[in-house]
Each structure stands twice: as C-alpha cells, then as structure tokens.
Amino acid sequence: MGKRRTGDGKRALALSLLLIATGPFVTYYAIASSSTIFIWAGLAETAIGMLLALLKA
Amino acid sequence: MLGMWLLALVPFAALLFLMIVPKWSSARAGAASWFIAMIEAYAFFGADINLIGLANCKGLLLGIYVSYLIWAGVLLYNLADDTGAIAEMAAGFKALTGDDLLQILLVGWTFVSFLQGIAGFGVPVAVVGPMLTSLGVQPLAAASIALLGHAWAVTFGSMATSFLTLVLVTGLNPPGLAQWSAVLLGIACVATGLSVSYMYGGTKAMVRGLPVVAAIGGAMSLTQYLLAALRSYVIASTGAGLVGCAMIGLMSRSPRFRRGDGPKVGRGRFFIAFSPYLALMALSVAVSAEFVSRPLSSAISLSLPFPETRTSLGWVNVAVKSYSTISLLTHPGTLVLEAALIGYLVFRRKSMTRSGIAGRIVRKTASQCLSPTIATLCMVMTSLVMNESGMTYMLAQGVAEGAGALYPIISTFIGILGCFATGSNSGSNTMFGAFQRDTARLLGVNEYVLCASQTTGGALGSMIAPAKVVVGTSVTKAAGREGEVIHRNVRYCLAIGLVTSIAAWLMTLALR
C-alpha cells in the first residue's frame, strides 16, 4: 500500500504522528492554565511533527 | 479585499496543487499547507497564538474521529482479505449477474448509497472500496467510484445528520427544506450513476448503462423524495438505496443481464464471507435506535470544552461546551471493530483463518495506516486553522459578492468548498448554512432552494474531501495517491455541481 518504506522512514513517520497527535493537547492545557511557555512548546512540538511529515512522508 | 481573498485561497490551492501536479502524498502536501495556513492566520488574519493553538486542538479531535475509522476499516479489510472472504464476495457478485457494469452499479452506486443511509462517516467507502477491487476494478478507480457513488446519499445518510444540522443552523421549516433538497439530490443521484458508468468504462459504458441508470436513479430519487416529503428524513437515503439494490437484483434475472459464467458460489459461502459486513449493518441499525444510542453515547466519550476566540479583524468563534464528542461505544470505528471481531469468530469456526492471523493483520494495519493518519491530521488541522481565523468564510463571501445576481449558480460550489474544508456535509452546512440563507434574503431569492443547493454541494464535496479520500485510498491499496483520486473526481464533482446549481438557479427564477 503506497510506497515501500525503510525501518528508519517508518520510525520517522511514527515520531511525526506522535508529535502531531500530542502537541495540540499540550497547547490546549497550557492555554487552560495560562502557561505561555507551554503554549509555545506545544506549538513547536506540533510544528516539528509537521516538518517530519513534510520531509519523510 | 481581493488581496485577502487570494491569501485565503493559498492554503487550499497549495494543497491541491502539491497533490495533483508534483503528486506529493497527502501527508506531505497537508503538512505544507498547514505551515502556510498557520503563517497566514497569524500574519494577515489577526489570529493570536491562543486561537491558533485551540484551532489545532479542534482539528486534532476531528482528525482522531476520522483516523479511528480508517484504522478499523483497514483492519476489517485485512481480515477479509487474509481469510479469502473478499474473493468469495467477488465471486458471489459475479455469479449474480455476468454483466460487469451491473455489478459495478450494484456495488459502487446502489449498495454504497444504502450503506451511507445506515452508517455514513466514511464507512460506505471503507466497505465498498475493497469490494470493487475484488471485482477487478483498479485500486484508484475503486476508491474514486466508491467516493462518487455514495455522494448523492450523504445529506439524508447517516440518519440524516447533515440535513438536521442544516435545519438547526438555518431555522428553516424542515419539510420545505427536505423536499427541495430531495429534488436537487435526485438530479445528483442520476448524475452520479452515469458518472460511475463513465468512470468504469468510458462513453460506451455510460451509453449502455443509460437505461438502467435512468430507471434505477429515477426510482431511488423518487423514493428519497417521497420519504423526505413524509418527514421520514432519517431513512430517506436507506430506503432509496434499498430500492436501488432490489431493482438491480430483479434486473439480474432478466436474460439481458445473464447470470455469470464463473464458478457458482453457494449462498451459504457468500453470506459467511459477507458476515462481518452484515454484522456492521446490523450494528449500525441497532445504534441508530435512540434507546440504544443514548445510554451508549454517554457511557465513554471524549470531548473538550473550548472558550470563545476572536481575531483582531473581528472574526469570532463562539465558545463550545463539548467539541466533536467521540462516543467510543457508538463511534463508527468501534462498530467496524466489533464487526471485524464477529467476522473473525465466524471465519475461525469455518476454518478460514490461518495460524497467527491476529498478529499478522494488526501489524499490517499499523504499517498501512501510519501515513493516512498523518495525512488526515495535517489536513483537518489546516482546515480548522483556516475556519477559525475566518479565511474559509472570506473565500465564500468573496465568491458570493463577485457572483451577484448569478449567486444561485455559485451556491452549490460554496457547499462543495465547505465539505472540502471540513471533510463532511454536516461541517459544510454548519459553516455555510446560515450564510446561504442570509445571502438568499439579501438577493430576494428563495431561501429554501439556496439552502437545498448548499447541502447538495456539501454532499457532492464528499467525493473530493481529503479526509474522505484518505479513507478510500487506505482500503484499496492506493494510500499516498490521494491527489490522483481527487484529480479524477474533481471534474465529476464540478460537472454534477454545475448541473444541480443550474437547476437551483432555474428554480429560484421560477419561484420569484
């Protein structure tokens, strides 16, 4: 199904998914607790996940 | 204003361009358009960091909803494939009629519409895609046909959720809205039947299928209209799909559509192979009953409250107490998993399973679903950033202002845009239902017709909405080729949209 991936490629995608799927929750709870630094941390985490998807998907 | 409109267009345009021209995977193109949407929302549309963060979280919740179904659908497909059930089902369909076009219309038009009536939320595409490949249809075409064939049934499908959403957001009288919607969706029904024939075998197949499509399409449209007129909204698509399946069953008995020459398949073997899908239908019907769904829905659910957010340009997203509630026990993904479990037990009893099947299909499913899940999350999060920063609304508003008196011709395409952005007919109706009603009042045209045109566009948009296309490609061994499926389907979507929008325009002229 789709292009064949190496083990490293799959690990990168799995990491990308993990970051994309958790980053927004970090941001959400940071907004709820008014923690500016964690809002940025959550957004950065999501962006790194997206960057990995852009480079490896 | 034009500059802002063009800026709002860039993320969608980039997504389509990257998927269609350089043929990037939807995950890669989705990630690129997410970066563009984020930068534009912050730099040009006045979204602050809180709004962007919350929009991403809303997108993630919607993405989880869709992704769960993708994983369950692929798992069910792998189970059916590994046990030989897919091959048995294909043999069963081939034995019913030797006419290949009738087989395709049965599975890819009438049966998928029936499934849309009872299940929806991507389940019909997840179920019918593999069936079409087993009938010898190429994976890309199978995904395209499944998406195309079910689109007309979406508004009154999945217990009419999209229609009832439109009623809620517009406040219009349900019977009036239902009848106009059924008229436009009826036109779309015949058009999708013809399109499925054309997609399968070109002009020759379309001409050959014309009498069948006209007869069955007419009957399905009429059934949907009558049920809608009788206020039986929740079964309008189901009833229409059933009538279509029954008519093809009757037609297959006539000498013109001779029985298949291939090896005959006993009814018992066919039904055993079909058992997980029968279980899925039964489960879908069961949870649609309110006395079953109500306690189950509230048992285990995931949802988050969201505060009000606003951009510096004045776009407001109202606070919601529970956004995109995922009720674990009634979620379509759970129903598919339960159906897979029932299928596994039946197949094991009939000695159709090989040793180590559970581990094998779980590993295969995880490997296959990684990329589609990322694609879904990227695209839905992009859409939500656009929606919550007012970019999508600005796109629609610009189109409406540009069209002026010809707006009714554009109204269907606004519905398509909404579905493309949100991934669902309900989402499109939520986003643009009130906008269409207000524009109709402003222009002095019939608001019922324009809102019917909106939901027809929302239904047709299902055939190109990336979140649904990913479901189709995931189950037909075409993952990563979403751009090609969208490229195939977009011309049908626009052509059928044009036909229904012209019909809507004529109706508004007649009702002035």
Report CB contact under 8 Å: A54, B28: yes
The pLDDT confidence band at residue B477, using thresholds 50, 70 and 90, is confident
Contacts of B52 (CB under 8 A, 6+ apart): A43, B38, B41, B42, B385, B388, B389
- Signed CA dihedral, B186, B188, B191, B197: sign only: negative
> Would you give the DSSP letter of residue B258?
P
Decide if A15 touches B, using CB distance below 8 A. no
What was the pLDDT predicted at B478?
Answer: 82
CA B374 to chain A, closest CA, distance in angstroms equals: 6
Asked if B212 and B105 touch (Cβ cutoff 8 Å), the reply is: yes
**Helix (H) or strand (E) segment spanning residue B436:** helix B425-443
Which of A20, A38, A48, A51 should one mutate to test binding to chain B, selecting the residue with the greatest count of B CBs within 10 A?
A20
**Taking CB atoms and an 8 Å limit, are A1 and B54 in contact across chains?**
no
Q: Mean pLDDT throughout B449-474?
A: 92
pLDDT digits (tens, 9 = 90+) for A1-44: 445 566 778 899 999 999 999 999 999 999 999 999 999 999 99
pLDDT at B214: 96
| pLDDT for the residue B397 | 85
| Interchain proximity B34–A50, CB inside 8 Å | yes
Q: For all residues of chain B together, what is the average pLDDT? A: 88
The conformation of residue B316, written as its DSSP 8-state character, comes to: E
CA distance B497 to chain A (A): 31
Residue A2: per-residue pLDDT: 46
Please check the confidence at residue A53 and state whether its pLDDT lies above 50.
yes
> Which has the minimum average pLDDT: B25-39, B80-94, B196-210?
B80-94
Measured between beta carbons, the chain A residues lying within 8 angstroms of B365 are none
Asked if B148 and B196 touch (Cβ cutoff 8 Å), the reply is yes
Share of chain B above pLDDT 70, in %: 97
Residue A8 CB contacts under 8 Å (≥ 6 apart), including other chains: none
pLDDT at B169: 80
Most confident region among A3-7, B272-276, B467-471, B501-505 by mean pLDDT: B501-505
Q: Do B474 and A1 touch (CB under 8 A)?
A: yes
Long-range CB pairs of B127-132, under 8 A, 24+ apart, other chains included: B127/B73, B127/B76, B127/B277, B127/B280, B129/B77, B129/B472, B129/B475, B129/B476, B130/B77, B130/B80, B130/B81, B130/B86, B130/B475, B130/B476, B131/B86, B131/B89, B131/B90, B131/B93, B131/B107, B132/B104, B132/B107, B132/B108, B132/B476
- For chain B, say whether A29 makes contact (Cβ under 8 Å): no
Mean pLDDT to the nearest integer, B316-344:
88
Q: If DSSP codes are grouped into helix, strand and coil, which group holds residue B445?
A: coil
Interchain CB contact of A46 with B (< 8 Å): yes
A54 to B31: CB separation less than 8 angstroms, yes or no: yes
The 10s digit of each residue's pLDDT in B365-408 is: 998 888 888 988 998 899 889 989 999 888 888 888 888 888 89
Residues of chain A positioned with their CB less than 8 A from the CB of B477:
1
Enumerate helices (H) and strands (E) in chain A, giving the number of each.
2, 0
Compare CB distances from B27 to A46, A47, A57 and report the shortest one's residue: A57
Check: CB of residue B52 under 8 Å from CB of residue B236. Answer: no
With bands split at pLDDT 50, 70 and 90, how would you rate the model's confidence at B335?
confident
A-B C-beta contacts closer than 8 Å: 90
**Residue B491 CB partners (closer than 8 Å, separation 6+):** none
Q: Which residue of B has its CA nearest to A6?
A: B367
Which residue of chain A is at minimal alpha-carbon distance from B374?
A17
Determine the average pLDDT of the residues in B301-323. 92
Pairwise CB contact (< 8 Å): B478 & A1: yes
Q: Span B412-434, mean pLDDT? A: 86
Answer yes or no: are the C-beta atoms of A13 and A3 closer than 8 Å. Answer: no
ipTM of this predicted structure: 0.93
Question: With bands split at pLDDT 50, 70 and 90, how would you rate the model's confidence at B127?
Answer: confident
Least CA distance to A31: which residue of chain B? B50
A1 interfacial to chain B (CB closer than 8 Å): yes
The whole-angstrom distance between B178's CA and the closest CA on chain A is 39
Which residue from A13, A31, A53 is facing B53, i.e. has the nearest CB? Answer: A31
Burial classification of residue B63, based on how many CB atoms lie within 10 Å of its CB (0-12 exposed, 13-18 middle, 19 or more buried): buried
Task: Inform me whether the pLDDT recorded for B131 exceeds 60.
Answer: yes
Chain B CA closest to residue A3 = B480
Question: Residue A57: which of B28, B54, B367 has the nearest Cβ?
Answer: B28
Query: Given CB atoms, is A45 within the 8 Å cutoff of chain B?
Result: no
Query: Tokens standing for B94?
Result: 């081939």
Confidence bin at B204 (pLDDT 50/70/90):
very high
pLDDT at B440 over 60: yes
| Residue B259 pLDDT class (50, 70, 90 cuts) | low
Find the closest chain B residue to A2 by CA distance.
B479
